[in-house]
Structures are given as structure tokens and as C-alpha cells.
Chains A and B, each alone.
Chain A
Amino acid sequence: MVLWYRSMKGILLISHGEMAKGMIDSISLFFGDLEQLDYLCLKKENNPEQFKEQMIEKISNLDSGDGVIILADILGGTPCNQSAYLAKENITVLTGMNLGMLISVMSSRQGKVIDIDMILDDTKVGINCLNDLLGVRR
């Protein structure tokens, strides 16, 4: 008998306000299985140190041994800056979170190796001016 243990990276979405929570709602239209996916929202009444503590707790719940990818809403914001204390091998932080990035991360974590460069390239391709692509004046 062969037992298959599928180990997978966890994903944590972090944002100013409820963006990260909304991302979960949006991604549920694309993926049925939202295992090892969680979010953390910085509220007005949170101080940065408190946010970091909450993040540590979330990560320990999400990490099943393969590490966690953190998507932060904006480079240099408080969620991102606090995640800087946690970044290390297998705790990877990507900034500039958007739906395309999350789809790319969700798709690629099903494989054994996650290619971060490919995820970033994918995400950047999705940022464009549609008028230019359509050949319509801006």
C-alpha cells in the first residue's frame, strides 16, 4: 500500500484593513480548496509589534514543514515591515499583493518546487493598460 502525504506551503495574506480578508473571498471563485491559506488584517487599533505577534501565531499554524509564503499588500507598509522580522529561508514575503499573484501562488504550490521568480513575472504581466493592449486611445 502506498500512502501519499502531500505536504504544501502555507499562504498568509497580510494587509492594511480588510483587503487580505477580501482576497480570500475573491480567490474562492477560482479555487475550491483553501487549505493552509489564512489572512491577517492590520486594524487602526493595532500597533506594529502586536501585528508581528499575530503573524507569528498564524505562520506557526500554517507551516506544515514546507514553509509559508506571505503576500503583503504594499512594499514598505507596516504589515510588510513587520514581516521583515520573519523573512528567512522558507518564509518568503512577496509584496504588492493582487489577485493575479495569489492565483499564481495557489497554482504553483501544488507542485513540489515553487518558482518565486516565475510568480513575480506572472504577476507583473497582469499589470497593464488594457487600452494599449486593445489599441485604443488612453
Chain B
Amino acid sequence: MIKHIRIDNRLIHGQVAAAWKNNIGAEAIIVCNDDVAKDPIQKMVLPMAAQGSKVLVYSIDELIEYDQKNPNETKFVICKFASDCLQLLEKGIEVEEVNIGNQAPVLNTDYVMVNGFVAATKEDAITYRKIAEYRGGKLPCQVVPTRPVEDFLDLLEKAGL
């Protein structure tokens, strides 16, 4: 069972992962992105960020397979990009919560900072709205558990995206 998907292009960083994991109460942290899953350095260093926790680094298809084989394990999934999350939803993954974390801007893209932590392009906005369709029209944005939850669709609109 996937309890929470976080979209964050810094993946597991420092104690943020631990803060969320405890808050969510998940047994495993799974980083999900096809490129990261092929990167031997990232596969080695990402688990270091959350020592003492079970950390897996999977491609989208690997995650789906793992979830099917281990349906009872509670999972906290971190997707690098919104497109990873959308693919999971399109492939029928069930999840209790989807949350937007950090999205640092990608160089040479036409991005807008929608709040202090999330950069988005027009194409990203389309992806986020598609995700929201799977989520009953709602999409929260919360960087760390102690900060207030923002309505991400509102933020996109205010940013003119």
C-alpha cells in the first residue's frame, strides 16, 4: 500500500526524509524515477540520507511490480518529477496522498517559481492538473510536515500557469 507520493527533484535530502517518514508512518521509502534507478551513485548514496530506514530506488515499472508483490507494506514514494507520479497513476497505482515538495528549476527551461520551493513550466502545469484529476481535483503542496499546506492548483493559477 502506498501511503504517500511526494514529488521532489532533490529526492531524499537530509532529515526531510526522516521527518516525512515518521509523519507518514511508512515502513519503506522508495525513490521512483527511471533515470535515478539506473544511476549506481544515486543508488548508493540515497539510502545514506535515511539510515536505519529501508530505502529502495526503483524505476516506475519496478515500483509497480514491487507494490503488487508486497501489498501490505506501507510505502512512502518519492518521485523526482511530476511526470513520474502521473505515470504511476496512469498505470493504476493506488495511493492515499499525493504531495508536491521541492522542484528546483531545470536550467534552460521557461519556468516560474510558484512559491519559494517549486518551479514549474507550462508543460509541468498540464502534468500537475492531470495528476489532480486522479485526486478528485485536489493537489496539496507542503515542503515539510511543520509548514502549512498550500493548494497547488491555486498556486499554479496565481503564477499564471
Contact = CB atoms under 8 A, between A and B. Distances in A.
Interface of A: 16, 44-50, 74-78, 80-81, 84-85
A48 B10 contact: yes
23 contacts: A16-B14, A44-B102, A44-B104, A44-B117, A45-B105, A46-B104, A47-B10, A47-B104, A47-B105, A47-B106, A48-B9, A48-B104, A50-B104, A74-B14, A76-B45, A76-B49, A77-B13, A78-B10, A80-B48, A81-B13, A81-B45, A81-B46, A84-B45
B139 interface: no
Interface string B16-57: 010000000000000000000000011011101111000000
Contacts of B106: 47
Contacts of A77: 13-14, 49
B104, B105, B113 interface centre (most CB from chain A within 10 Å): B104
Q: Looking at B9, B10, B41, B51, which has the most chain A CB atoms within 10 Å of its CB?
A: B10
Contact of B9 (A47, A76, A80, A84): A47
B113 A45 contact: yes
Contact of A75 (B49, B104, B113, B117): B49
Contact of B13 (A45, A49, A76): A76
B105 A76 contact: no
B119 interface: yes
B49 A84 contact: no
Contacts of A75: 48-49, 51
A105 B102 CA distance: 33
Nearest to B18: A76
A76 B14 contact: yes
A75 B102 CA distance: 19
Contacts of A74: 14-15
Contacts of B46: 76, 81
Contacts of A46: 104
Given A74-B15, A76-B14, A76-B45, A45 B50 contact: no
B116 interface: yes
Contacts of B41: 81, 84-85
Contacts of A50: 104, 107
